[in-house]
Structure 1
Amino acid sequence: MIDEMQVSNIALIREATLVPSAGLTVLTGETGAGKTALLSALKLILGERADSSTVREGEALASVEARLFDGPHDTEGFTVQRSLSAEGRSRVKIDGRIASVRELSERVGVMMDLCGQHEHQRLLDPAHHVAMVDAWAGRSALEALDAYRACFKASRAAAKEVRRVEEASRAQGSRVEEARFALERIGEVDPKPGEYEELEELLPRTEHAEVLVATANDAHASLAAEGGALDAVNSAVAELSRMATVDRKLGDIADALSDACISLEDCANELRAYRDGIAFDPRELARMRERYSDLKGLLRQWGPTMDDVFAMRDRSQELLSLVDDGDEQIKKAREALGAAEHELFAAAKALKRARNTAAPRFCHEVGRQMARLEMGSAELVWESRDLPRAEWTPVGPSSYELLYRSGAGLT
């Protein structure tokens, strides 16, 4: 609710402050007094679309500031400010923080409802009547509605599955032949998950095994053979260590070279192990090449990845299973649909019961308020009409409407 609103340069208003009183506040005045301008200011606070024509003529900027409380238990409240330039640029702040118009609408727009002539027609739209009753009824209706919607969604999914298996069981010609060919070809190769990626990594190493062995062997010899790098470094370490008694700095260098020798020895050992671990087998290389070629062929037909190939295999198996065992598949799908429909009808019955229990009480309470407004014997009447199953919607299995009866015996 609004605690206070300050308006600047809105239409006819240069400066105005609105402080609603407790209970009902009525704004009156002659034509041109500014009542519509105040409503325009309220719309800006609610996050509605801004029009530069709202800015007072001759002014560069219009603004509206308001302090609001979010319900009776809110003791702190929050402030909203919205400004509109003559060029049509709108700025929003909530509690001094820059915000968007959408955030303003979501925060404040739900707190107030503007009703004006030819402006607000929700009360006349039957589509909104059931939502009002559900919201008023609270947990009993809303839980029943959630259960109904879940069953409605499940029934739709089951019906879709029936259509799918029926269509698949009727599949003929090229689709079936393509599935049979794919299943046969993929089955011949029989690819394993991760196999293609492993071959991509191993095949180049196997193809260049001789060169890799020679390279590792030469590198190992350069390090560890007689007269190699290790001998040269060890000789340098010995000379430097001998002279370290004369100059300590040479001893430090000798220690660093000793550490380097350890690293060089580790590298030499790794090179030897790498060299000895590579075995060149022409027959294994030929097998790997043939296998890689087969897998590559599958990728060219159903790729670009092996996951696509596996997906094609699964789809083909499913299609042929439906074709070969269509009657059984259709039977199972129809049974599942029947079970889903049974649950849906039970949920629909519970939803209708919850609404038809709450709606008369809702109408009675509205009638009491109309009586306080001295509307005589006027009342609301709840009308519920069951719909054929084909016309059910996520809202419910019936059409609902709140009818206004101006007096006894009248509608």
Structure 2
Amino acid sequence: MLREISIRDFAIIEQVHLTFDQGFHVLTGETGAGKSILFDALSLVVGGRASADFVRHNAKKATVEALFELPGGHPACEVLEELGLGSDEENLLIRRDISSNGKSTCRINGQIVTLAMLKQVGKRLLDIHGQHEHQRLLQVEEHLRWLDAFGGKELRDCLNGYRKVYGEYRKTTRELEQLNADEKEVAQRIDLLTFQRDEIAAARLTEDEDQELEQEQSRLAHAEHLMQNTAHAFEALYGERQGAELLNGAIGNLEEIVRVDDSMQEVLEMVQSAYFQVEEAARQLGRYRDNLEFDPDRLAQVEERLHLIDELKRKYGESVREVLEHGQRAEQELNQLEHRDEKKAELEEKRDRLYQEVKAKAEALSRLRRHAAAALEREVEKELSDLNMGGTRFSVAFHQGEEPVLTSNGIDQPEFLISPNRGEPLRPLVKIASGGELSRIMLAIQSIFSELEGSANTLIFDEVDTGVSGRAAQAIAEKIARLARKGQVLCVTHLPQVACMADVHFYIFKESDTEKTRTRVRLLTEEGRTLELARMLGGVEVTDTTRNHALEMLRLAEKTKKAM
């Protein structure tokens, strides 16, 4: 539930702070006063598109903050948890800042989030309906989305199962199309892959071979230098009167000392250990020296091999491993191309099998949709009857050719049809519905969808009563009031029949001085409501007649709401 909204430097709003409660809130005012601007601000809170045009003239940024109360189990709580924004608090604060260059920042409980994350949360908080929603009724592609939402969990599960198999079917179909590519291109591809495979295979590479060859190249190139230093090191360790012999003499001296004073035993052992290590080092140096040789032929072979490996790495990868992997991939693709007839037959069999499976799932999905459509027709006609359109027939038509076309949504192309008057045939909404009828159809659908699991319990209507008057206006007012009994409704209206049914009434007006114009919002008292209703009934001048009429409307509205 929306509890508070604070708006600063937004369009012609300098600063507005409003508080809300459960029930029906109505906003009225003269044309151009800025009623719909408030709903533009609310749409930003739930992820609407930002624009530099929203920033008040001469201001650096516009700010909109909204405080929501989230009782346990609210649909938004699960989304917040999934996004890592869960909170133990029952309040949720959303803030949107728009700078004068059009950039915006979104925050949820003080944490910066992306616009996509805000939209995920926002659609669980507010359900905003304006004149553009009426136009969505005229977009046939939207009808399927509404029908699927009405169908509930069973239909959604069936649709998800269908899409999984449909995805496999489309993947197999694309593989077949690729396999059936132009034969000339296939032949060229075979030639290229054969050359690459053979070139890599002929090199007889082993993994990490280049590193071993680079070490050998270094030894061969510096063989003379290595020989000299090895000889000097060996002589120092094992030559006459050198390291090993001197250590051996020291051991004899220490052994004599230990016979008299065993406190030097540890020193003796250290020197003995050093002697053994020097002896072992000298032996290894000897073996290394014996294997050293300057071999120009071998050096040339190593360098030639390294050059070959570098050429292969330049073509196929940064390492020998990547070159070998490229060769393996070339071999695999060659195998597929050279045996494409067998592969083609295999894919065709798989495609045909998946087609039958996806077709069966599409037909099952279609049956569920037709069942849901029949229920939706009954529900909409019932709601329309409440909205003074009792003679209206509402129907969901399913358009399919002789051979239904499979899409990611199945085989159905549903369209909403209507017959506003008895005896008239059903026709598409776009061809028959007036603005007032669209308003009531939209409200009827919204009344149904507000009952669905996961729907936002704060509904916002921006002049959905356009084109409506008389008894139809009263029916819309009562329908919105009933919706408000189950949650929270905010409604911009120009109809006194709707305004009088509200639990809370805000009056929006413009105030100007010599420098600027600003929008103000005032919470009306009972007296204020009477005057505003009288103005809506009679125009600028409030007369005793319009005032008495307004009082009577308020009295009857209270009586109607109590009867609900």
TM over 0.5: yes
Q: CA deviation at 1:349?
A: 1.7
Indicate if the aligned counterparts of 1:379 and 1:404 stay in contact, CA closer than 8 A: yes
Classify 1:400/1:231 alpha carbon distance in 2 versus 1 (closer, same or farther; 3 Å). Answer: farther
2:348 equivalent among 334, 352, 367: 334
Query: Structure 1 residue 38: deviation in Å?
Result: 1.6
Cα deviation, residue 162, structure 1: 2.0
Q: Would the aligned equivalents of 1:10 and 1:62 in 2 still touch at CA under 8 Å?
A: yes
Within-5 A mapping of 1:223-262: 223-229=237-243, 262=273
2-structure distance, mates of 1:93, 1:292: 61
1:68 partner amino acid: F
Offset of residue 406 of structure 1: 2.5
Task: Indicate the residue corresponding to 1:247 in structure 2.
Answer: none
| Partner residue in 2 for 1:196 | 209
**Contact 1:216–1:271 (8 Å) recurs in 2:** no
CA deviation after TM superposition for structure 1 residue 2, in Å: 1.2
Rounded Cα–Cα distance in structure 1 between residues aligned with 2:94 and 2:297: 77
Q: Deviations over 1:339-386 (max 9, x none)?
A: 222222122222212222222223333333333333323353222223
Q: What is the CA–CA distance in structure 2 between the aligned matches of 1:55 and 1:184, rounded to whole Å?
A: 67
How far is the alpha carbon of 1:332 from its aligned partner? 2.1
Change in 2 beyond 3 A, CA 1:274/1:310? farther
1:65 paired residue number: 65
Letter in 2 for 1:204: Q
- Judge which range, 168-177 or 350-359, deviates more: 168-177
- Matched with 2:371 is 357
- Whether contact under 8 Å (2:70, 2:90) holds in the other structure is no
Provide the C-alpha distance between the structure 1 equivalents of 2:403 and 2:327, rounded to a whole number of angstroms. Answer: 38
Contact 2:213 2:302 in 1 (8 A): no
The amino acid that maps onto 1:273 is Q
Whole-angstrom CA distance in 2 between matches of 1:177 and 1:33: 75
Secondary structure of 2:94 counterpart: strand
Look up the equivalent residue of 2:130 and give its one-letter code.
G
Determine helix, strand or coil for the equivalent of 1:383. strand
Amino acid at match of 2:46: L
Q: Given the alignment, which residue of 305, 317, 327 partners 1:292? A: 305
CA contact (8 A) 2:194 2:330 kept: no
Instruction: Count how many residue pairs are aligned between Structure 1 and Structure 2.
Output: 402
Q: Which has the higher contact order (CA 8 A, sep 6+)?
A: 2
Contact 2:45 2:122 in 1 (8 A): yes
Superposition TM-score, scaled by structure 1 size: 0.76
Determine helix, strand or coil for the equivalent of 2:399. Answer: strand
Distance 2:271 2:35 in 1: 91
Structure 2's unaligned 5+ residue stretches are 75-88, 258-262, 427-564
Counterpart for residue 531 of structure 2: none
Alpha-carbon distance in structure 2 between the residues aligned to 1:184 and 1:55: 67
Deviation at 1:219, TM superposition (A): 2.0
Q: Structure 1 residue 157: deviation in Å?
A: 1.9
Which of 145, 155, 164 is the aligned partner of 2:178?
Answer: 164
Whole-angstrom distance in 1 between the partners of 2:192 and 2:53: 66
Q: Distance in 2 between matches of 1:349 and 1:272?
A: 84
Deviations 1:243-272, CA, capped at 9 Å, x for gaps: 9xxxxxxx99x9899868856853662463
- The answer to whether the 8 A contact 1:377-1:406 is kept is yes
User: Which residue does 2:330 correspond to in 1?
Assistant: 315
Question: Which of the residues 147, 156, 162 maps onto 2:161?
Answer: 147
- In the TM superposition, 1:54-203 aligns within 5 A as 54-56=54-56, 62-70=62-70, 73-74=73-74, 76-84=90-98, 90-118=104-132, 121-167=135-181, 174-192=188-206, 194=207, 196-197=209-210, 199-200=212-213, 203=216
Q: What one-letter code is carried by the residue in structure 2 that aligns with 1:269?
A: E
Flag structure 1 segments of 5+ consecutive residues without an equivalent: 244-250
User: Within 1, Cα distance between the matches of 2:330 and 2:129?
Assistant: 57
| CA pair 195-135 structure 1, distance change in 2 beyond 3 A | same
Contact 2:140–2:414 (8 Å) recurs in 1: yes
Kindly provide the amino acid, as one letter, of the partner of residue 315 in structure 1. A
Q: Give the aligned partner of residue 269 of structure 1.
A: 280
